[in-house]
Amino acid sequence: MSLRVIIFGTLAFIAIQIIRLVDRLFIKPRLSNLRVLPGPKSKSLLYGNFKEVKHSKPGELHAKWIEEYGPTMSYTGVFNSGRLYTHDTRALSFVLSHPDIFRKPDQFQFVLARVLGKGLIFADGDPHRKQRRLLNPAFSNLHIRQMTPIFFSKAFELRDAWIALASEKESPFDTTACEIDAMSWLSRVTLDIIGLAGFDHAFKATNPQGPADDFQKAFETAFNGAMKFSLMSLLTARFSILRKLPSKRERDIQEAQTTMRRLGKKLIADKKKTILESLSDKDEKITKTTVEGKDILSLLIRANMSSEVPESARLSDEDILAQIPTFILAGHETTAAALAWCLYAMTRHTDIQCKLRDEVGSVDTDGPTMDVLNSLPYLDAVVRETLRFFPIVPMVMRIASEDVNVPFKTPVTDKRGRSLSEIRIRKGEGVDIPIIALNRSKDIWGDDADQYRPERWENVPEIAHEVPGVWSDLMTFLGGPRSCIGYKFSIIEMKVLIFTLIRAFSFEPPEKDVEILPKTTFITKPVVVGEEEKGSQLPLKIRLLPTA
């Protein structure tokens, strides 16, 4: 290949990228129908309003915009892209029920790919449907009921570790209390639970003296690297050629992915071997009930190998491999953060804490069944209120893969005074799913929607039933065909840990007066003001109860 050809090819590539960038930054925005909707002005050609949103508290800026521009508006995303923001339940239901049209953004898929390599649980189209069909039995009530003893075993381990900490306190005046970073501990115990329940792997993270697990270290390296947002990370997500540029961040992520692949392949091979060895006859066919393995990965592999599943409906080994870090990503820090916010609420509302303790204390066993847990109304209300008031993901976005009309339940008045019953979204434009805003909407939940009050679940407003969420009239687990498949798992895991910890301890603010604020990267976690560089923390005091 001559030098002239190389130069020409390079210049042609650069010219094409410039044309695409000009089209994205200048031409498409001028043709957008979203321009007629009220909304804030863009602050930057590259970032739009993104930096404003990123540096505000979850839902705070959007709430301000809603007051100024109304419940349906538009604003500008990165690279001058149009964004529809609405509280209209019909519009949101339409978007969530058409996942083949409204897909996850490229930047989101890219970040997850850096963690997972290939994460089918976040895929679109037919691969997602195949994966969902095979995984559904693993997240059924029947299977979660069988998983509940695993949840309790780790809850007891956490309780006993905290009892040991409280008992070791040397102060003669307060021998049953100590301060802990609850976020760190809850992150460890939820990792242990998803390790055992997800793929029968013992991380042993709750043991403070135990060494860090290789898979755990690799996952944290990939996740933390992928979560470092910057202009370069946005450009890397948009232009794949930039990923080839050498950097320590890229090298660390790639090494972590290699480690996860190696360990994951061994897990899968071992489970396949167990399934084949469990057959009493070498000619016996594999069915969905062939082996005893109850972890989610075993159920997935068993279903995938079953003679009852046609070849066209099966997943490849690569697709199954991606589920291991997916289980950790979807079921580890999310539940840990939700539990941390629950304990934070308990320290601020001692009356709620006492009422909850009275209820769980009335149960005559430390390890009740899932059905007994679900029969405790105030525990249920506390979990629902925690997930309403502190949704772990405050907002998600969907990108239109084609031009489409989005209908409104309530007509919208545009800048020209016209009443619109629908808006045409062009290919590449986004729609925000305002999780925290709907969960805290006063139009839905009443004037006290901005207060943490579990008693509201005794009488749910009729209008709340219009919210297109898969669970409890909330958007926390989204809705439609791509709603969170593991929400039942997460809810029971939360109930088990709250039940166990509230029976053993009282929770109080720490001695030092600190301010806790929510900070969102992928999920919303508590941070200490002035100590943001230390990452997520939730310092609080635990006091051992006499009955523990």
Q: Which residues are annotated as a binding site for heme?
A: 484
- Who contacts 72 (Cβ-Cβ below 8 Å, separation ≥6)? 37, 84, 85, 86, 87, 88, 91, 408, 410, 412
DSSP state, residue 23: I
Residue 450 has which token pair? Answer: 């901005």
Beta strands 430-433 and 82-86 are: parallel
Cα–Cα distance measured from residue 540 to residue 530, given in angstroms and rounded to the nearest whole number: 17
Cα–Cα distance measured from residue 146 to residue 152, given in angstroms and rounded to the nearest whole number: 11
Residue of 507, 500, 497, 493 whose CA lies nearest to 166:
507
CA distances, 213 to each of 117, 239, 336 (Å) = 20, 34, 18
Helix residue spans in 375-440 (DSSP H): 377-389, 435-439
Cα–Cα distance measured from residue 58 to residue 393, given in angstroms and rounded to the nearest whole number: 9
Residue whose token pair is 């941390």: 340
Q: What SS3 class is residue 520?
A: strand
CB 538 within 8 A of CB 526: yes
- Burial of 208 from C-beta contacts in 10 A (0-12 / 13-18 / 19+): exposed
The 505-508 sheet, strands edge to edge: 177-181, 539-544, 505-508
Cα–Cα distance measured from residue 191 to residue 203, given in angstroms and rounded to the nearest whole number: 7
Residue whose token pair is 């979203």: 34
Strand-pair partners of 520? 524
Residue whose token pair is 């679940």: 457
To 5 degrees, how large is the angle CA 127–CA 79–CA 419? Answer: 85
Element spanning 546, H or E: none
Cα–Cα distance measured from residue 174 to residue 543, given in angstroms and rounded to the nearest whole number: 9
Strand-pair partners of 518? 526
Cα–Cα distance measured from residue 384 to residue 491, given in angstroms and rounded to the nearest whole number: 9
For the four alpha carbons of 36, 40, 41 and 45, in that order, the dihedral sign comes to negative
Residue of 302, 373, 356 whose CA lies nearest to 149:
373
For the four alpha carbons of 92, 96, 97 and 101, in that order, the dihedral sign comes to positive
Beta strands 524-528 and 539-544 are: unpaired
Beta strands 505-508 and 524-528 are: unpaired
End-to-end CA distance of the chain: 77
Annotated binding site: 484
